[in-house]
Each structure stands twice: as structure tokens, then as C-alpha cells.
Amino acid sequence: MKRKQKFYHLVMLPYASGDLHIGHWYNYGPADVFARMKKMQGFDVFSPIGFDAFGLPAENAAIERGIHPAKWTKQNIKRMRQQLRSINAIYDWRAEVITSQPKYYKWTQWFFLQFYKNGLAYRKKAPCNFCPKCQTVLANEQVIDEKCERCETKVIQKEIEQWFFKITDYADRLLKDLDKLDWPEKTKAMQRNWIGKSKGAEIDFSGIKVFTTRPDTILGATFVVLSSDHPWAKNPPKYVINPANQEKIPVFVADYVLSEYGTGAIMAVPDCDERDMVFAKENNLLIKKTKLVDPKEIVKEVKGIWRINYRLRDWLISRQRYWGAPIPIIYCSKCGEVSVPEKDLPVVLPKDVDFKPTGESPLASCEKFVKTKCPKCQGLAKRETDTMDTFVCSSWYFLRYVDPKNAKRFASKEKIKKWLPVDMYVGGAEHTVLHLLYSRFFTKALKDLGLVDFDEPFISLRHQGFILGQDGQKMSKSRGNVVNPDDYVKKYGSDTVRMYLCFIGPYSQGGPWNPKGIIGIKRFLDKVKKLKQSKEIDQKLTHKTIKKVTNDIEKFRFNTAVSCLMEYVNSGNYDLEILMTLLAPFAPELSKKYHHKPWPKYDEKLIKEEEIELIIQINGKVRDRVKVRTDIDKKEALELIKQRPKIKDLKIKRVIFVPGKLINLVV
């Protein structure tokens, strides 16, 4: 017997926040329709689910309610499991992972150590984004418009020792390999943009190296600006020489030049660059009309060097918060920074800690955690008290699913080989430069360390859109337009909610929740329940329906697949068996008996449209006729007839097209 082909179908794991909201449902319901069809098509489908359980929201909620985050998370997961079951998805619950469990985060820590050993994790004192409300540093990816992505407090810069992952080593591969992924173009574009590769030149202005992507504007450079962290910023020279024209130009220090980008110094061309213009006007500096020069020539002439520069910065992964995986590092006064031996993993997060955030790591106040022995010299030593960003935990969870109980390895080589990479990944677009970039980095790093043999985690990716409130607005408690999926499941059943979500709009766009719409679906399913085999079956319509439903589900066009099924029922000439089989992925309760049926195949010959005779008119008079496909459109028809002798030489002013009937050329 032929082995079934594997299909790893993955949905983004939910955060253990306590409630499965309609957005989760929208992610998971239609995604499961796809997974179920794959299964019926004969694939060996693996569709796991788990919980992202560490992190700030759990900790904040626990502080608010005065209960331990571990307890809060546990309660939530219990409740969410039930809600998830109500979706009726084909989840393999044996594969469940919970990222806050020691048996899981043991491996998060183990990966940290592998990265550390190989120079991909390092500690550095650096200016960091710090959220005064969450009392922790944040990664660049978690700062949006200078605000904390969680609480929208304006972040401040703080200079602290922090742990980083060297994602910048992978900038080029992260960029290049996007080309081979079946991902939404917009998501790829956003990653490209975030990585921000640019080609420019480093040019020397009397010892100050500037980075510019526009060496051709050098004659318009009327001053030089240093970032405040530039080595010369404390004592900058008053003037430097522009090497292109030997002019003396002044030097300034300003915050609009970033220290961590390029060389941390720029040549300012106010005539061509807006930021330079603003600065020049504010400070009454010279603005000179720029004569552009050949970039290649000028770089050679001033002996500059061409360089590739990236916007991407290393990933800041340490957090001064309690509810996370401890970073497995020990500080010894004799031996310095020492990694925890692998055999001592996991470094268990202690339970009884005062975890209210103070800006210092809460673990620092837990003496029995901090005090330890140096693994090298056995002398008294201290543990690192920062924990890891939860995005580290979720960067590899899809690997653990395939072998969640393995105590010896994060997952066995065989199981990884059998299931990975993920064939289809479905989830929100809001993770574009966070989770989706981090997981790609993780996978590439693991590949280089010889731990996996693929270098992209998610071959295909689809995003769901947003379900809006009845009023067409974003759902929010204050607007009172929040839809609770549980209520609807209770009232109409899981099948109806699934199918209504499929129907609500194009999947990647979503749409407003409409109480009338969901009743329509309920009625449809009630009607289907009572259907009997029709006396006459329309074979052509049957095969057309199979084709459309199959292709639509394949392309995540669930809404049009549902309409097609409705039309099929309405025709009155359906094949009941086929109808129920096609419905099975959408309404698994109703079509219980059909899940094990093979997915129906269609016969292309039976679908082939007959041709019609299209009338060709010129200025309203019939001049010609041509055989065409019934569903030909205006553009195609025009293309087709343009080359005909009677038409070739005409100057066509306007085209009137009546589908299936005629085309009239006004000349």
C-alpha cells in the first residue's frame, strides 16, 4: 500500500488568556475546513494545538486579581480546551504543548545554550527600549510608533546589560529565502522592509565615516551630523572637509541620527533629504542646490567603500519580569559568565516570588533561586535573574508538537523528518515581524547547528481577516459590539458558527458579524438535514460544484465555496451523497457519516462549457459571428476578434459587450 503523504497543518497557538474570542474562532474554524478536506483527499494530516502560556498578559492579570500566574494560566487553559473542543476541529490533543511547563521550557533553555555556545546569544550593555508601565525592556519589534505594543505607553531609552540573539547574522538569508515561500505578498514585503537592506557607501569626512545611500548628492552636503553615541560626539570637531569639493562644513550632534545604524554619522544634504532640511532650517544652516554626480565615479574619486547595510537589529530577548523561562546562565566572581550544564536543565522558575514589577527582575529578590554554585569551580555564584521573551518560547513550538513527551531531545529526528516543515500555517497578520520572523531565524539557526535539516519553518501561510461588530466597527467592550462565540455555539450549534464564519466574507478580509446572516446558515443546514436524494441529478452541475468547492477551499475562498453549495441545493437536482461529502469539512456534526469518504473527484469533460455564437456588430450593425466559450469576458472577446480581417484596420472608439450574446464596436 502506498504510504499517505504527510500534511502538517498548523494554526497559531492561542495565548492562554482565558477566553476564546471570535478572532480565534475565525482563525481555527475555516482553517479546519481546509485541514479536513486535505484529510479526505487522502493526506496524513497532523493538526495540533497548544497554549502560549508565559508572558506579560498572564502576569499582569494575575497581579490585578491577586492570584499566581501559574494558577491563572492553568484555569484559563482548562476553559479554553473546552471552547476549542466546541470548534469540532481535527486537533490531535495528544500533541498538546503548554509553553510554561518545565518539560517544555527545559528545551527553550536548551536552545538558548546551543545559541550561546555558538555565538548566537550574547550579553551586551546597550541602549534599550524600556516600557515604564510594564517595567521591562522590549525588542524593537515590540515598539510601535515609539510606544509599547501591549500598553501603548511611550517607551524610554535605558542603558542596561541585556541578552540578545544574533538575528542580524541571518539578515541576508531571511531576506533572500522569502522568495521561495508561498506567503501573502504583503507579509513578505513587510518582512523585507523590516530587514531593510540598503546599498550605500561609507565616505570619509576628515576622519568621520558617514553612511549614505545617495553618494550622488555629495556636492549638496553642507554639514555632517553625529548620533549622540558616536565616539566623537562628546568632543566633535567644529568643521570637516567635504572630500568631493574640499569645502569646510560644520559638524553637529543630533538625535535624528541613530547610533546603531550605518556608521552613526551622516552627511546632511538638506536640498534632497527632508530630515536634513528640517534640521538645517531649525539651525539656520546652509541649504545648497545640489548638482547630482555619478555615484560610482564619486565613490571611487573620494576613495569611499560600497557597503550593504541592514535596518534589522539583534533580537533583545531578556525581560525583567517573573513569568517566563529563566535564562540558564550563572555568574561567578572567578569564572565569569558560565552556562548551566545541560544535565541541570530545566532551571525551574520558583513559585513563591514577589512578582510585582519594579524594573528589577523579580527573581533577583528570591535568594534561594539566585544563590547557586558555579558549575566550573563549585564556588558561590549567582544565577541570571532575567527571563526570556515569550516570543522565544513560540519560536519553536511547532517542533515540539511532533514529539511532545520526548525527555531526551526537543523532538526525535525521525518525527521531525516525518512531519516538518509545516505545510500550511494559518494565523493573524499582526505577527508579521515578530513571531513569523523570529521562527524563521530560529529554524535557520537550528539548521546551521545541525539540529534540523530544513531552513524555513512554514512553507505556506495564510492570514485571516478581522470579524467586525454588527456596526461594522472593530469589536471592543466599550462599543458593546463584542460577539461571544460560546453564546452562538449554544444557540445554533458549532456547525452553524463554523459555516457562518466561512461565509462572512473573503477569508483574508473578514467582515461584520450579522445576526441575520447566521440565521440564514442555520436554516440552510436545517434544510439540508431533511433533504432526500433528488429524482434527477444534474451531472454537469454536480461536477462543476465539486470542482468549485475543491478549488475554493484549496485557495481559502471559503465564502464562495459555501455559496456554491447553496446553489447546488437550490438547483433541486443534487446528488445527496456528494453534497453531504462536500459539506463534511464545513459542518462536521451534520455530516458525521461522511468524514471517512474520499473527497469526490470531478470529471473535466463533463464540465466543459458548450460554445455560443457571439455576434459582432460594427456601429450597431451585425457584421460577423464567432464561436466562443459561454463565459468569455469583454477583454477576452475583444482580443479574440481584433485580428479578424473585417476588424483589423478599424479605429475602435468604444466597445459595448453583452455577455453571452454580442460585442458591438463603435468606430
Q: Which residues bind Zn ion (CB under 5 A)?
A: 332, 334-335, 374, 376-377, 379
Give the shortest CB-181-to-ligand ANZ separation in angstroms. 24
437 within 8 A of 174, measured Cβ to Cβ: yes
Q: Which does residue 376 touch among ligand ANZ, Zn ion, none (CB within 5 to 8 A, set by kind)? A: Zn ion
Nearest-CB residue for ligand ANZ: 272
Joined grid coordinates for residue 159: 542603558
Is residue 120 near ligand ANZ by the rule CB under 6 A?
no
- Binding part of the chain for ligand ANZ, among 66-74, 160-168, 256-264, 428-436 by CB under 6 A, reads 256-264
Is residue 470 near ligand ANZ by the rule CB under 6 A?
no
Give the shortest CB-238-to-ligand ANZ separation in angstroms. 21
Is residue 202 near ligand ANZ by the rule CB under 6 A?
no
Task: Give the Cα separation of 111 and 421 in Å (integer).
Answer: 18
Q: Which does residue 135 touch among ligand ANZ, Zn ion, none (CB within 5 to 8 A, set by kind)? A: none
Give the shortest CB-114-to-Zn ion separation in angstroms. 22
Joined grid coordinates for residue 60: 499582569
Residues 6+ apart with CB under 8 A from 572: 534
Number of neighbouring beta carbons within 10 Å of residue 491: 12
Beta bridge mates, 339:
329
Residue with smaller CB distance to ligand ANZ, 23 or 270:
270
**From candidates 253, 272, 364, 612, binder to ligand ANZ by CB under 6 A:** 272
The single-letter code of the amino acid at 653 is K
Strand, coil or helix: 409: coil
Q: Which does residue 335 touch among ligand ANZ, Zn ion, none (CB within 5 to 8 A, set by kind)? A: Zn ion
Q: Are strands 239-241 and 248-253 parallel, antiparallel or unpaired?
A: antiparallel
Is residue 267 near ligand ANZ by the rule CB under 6 A?
yes
Around 337, how many Cα atoms within 13 Å sit in the side-chain half-sphere? 13
**From candidates 261, 331, 454, 657, binder to ligand ANZ by CB under 6 A:** 261
Q: At what angle do helices 494-503 and 22-40 cross, to 10 degrees?
A: 90
Is residue 194 near ligand ANZ by the rule CB under 6 A?
no
- Choose among 595, 332, 100: nearest CA to 340: 332
Is residue 309 near ligand ANZ by the rule CB under 6 A?
yes
Residue with smaller CB distance to Zn ion, 373 or 527:
373
Give the shortest CB-231-to-ligand ANZ separation in angstroms. 14
Is residue 258 near ligand ANZ by the rule CB under 6 A?
yes
Q: Which does residue 264 touch among ligand ANZ, Zn ion, none (CB within 5 to 8 A, set by kind)? A: ligand ANZ
Give the shortest CB-335-to-Zn ion separation in angstroms. 3
Is residue 203 near ligand ANZ by the rule CB under 6 A?
no
Beta bridge mates, 663:
616, 657
Is residue 273 near ligand ANZ by the rule CB under 6 A?
yes
Residue with smaller CB distance to ligand ANZ, 309 or 551:
309
- Binding part of the chain for ligand ANZ, among 76-84, 210-218, 344-352, 569-577 by CB under 6 A, reads 210-218
Classify residue 61 by burial, with Cβ atoms within 10 Å: 0-12, 13-18, 19+.
Answer: middle
137's torsion region: left (phi>0), alpha (psi -120 to 50) or beta?
beta
443 within 8 A of 455, measured Cβ to Cβ: yes
Joined grid coordinates for residue 238: 567644529
**From candidates 23, 262, 493, 600, binder to ligand ANZ by CB under 6 A:** 262
Residue 593 Cα distances to 590, 597, 626, angstroms: 8, 8, 49
Q: How far apart are the first and last CA of the chain?
A: 65
Is residue 195 near ligand ANZ by the rule CB under 6 A?
no
In 12-149, which ranges are E strands? 44-46, 121-131, 136-138, 143-144, 147-148
Q: Which does residue 213 touch among ligand ANZ, Zn ion, none (CB within 5 to 8 A, set by kind)? A: ligand ANZ
DSSP letters for 309-331: E-----EE-EES-SSSPBP-EEE
Task: Give the Cα separation of 560 and 552 in Å (integer).
Answer: 7
Give the shortest CB-215-to-ligand ANZ separation in angstroms. 8
Residue with smaller CB distance to ligand ANZ, 97 or 269:
269
**From candidates 264, 362, 457, 585, binder to ligand ANZ by CB under 6 A:** 264
- Binding part of the chain for ligand ANZ, among 10-18, 267-275, 544-552, 556-564 by CB under 6 A, reads 267-275
**Which residue ranges make up the site for ligand ANZ (CB under 6 A)?**
198, 200, 211-214, 217, 227, 257-258, 261-262, 264, 266-267, 269, 272-273, 309
